[in-house]
Amino acid sequence: MSDDLRSQAEILAAISEAREDLTTGLADLQATVEALSSQPLLTDEEKQALEEQAESGELGEDMATLVEKIRAGEDSWEQVFSGESPHATLLQGHLTRMFEEHKDDLALAFEELIEAEEAKGNFIFDEVPGTDPGRTTAP
């Protein structure tokens, strides 16, 4: 019976530790979101460069149209990138081209991120060990 009590105590301690870790992680995430939200989406220099590229036609016709609307005061980059703009769809072609151009780099960066998390013991895309209902032995 004392083994059962010890096991229950260990389980409760693990749950408490996990809850503390989750609370700390959520607080860190909230702080990061607040820090990112307080920064401008694009610097003035980035906006200018983006607008110049779009005006030149380098980023496609939709982006040139979008810049016209932004410069006319009908829209803003912040609204476009947040999805709040009725003209946000004009950004889609550019984003698709950028994704196609950089998808290998994105895949590599994502893979490196996953490996770094797994090295820390965070298996975010794997099943939690021991939760497979069909599994009868420990991993």
- CA 8, CA 23: separation in Å to the nearest integer? 22
pLDDT in tens, 87-100: 988 888 888 888 99
Residue 138 has pLDDT above 60, yes or no: no
Give the pLDDT band of residue 58 (cuts 50, 70, 90): confident
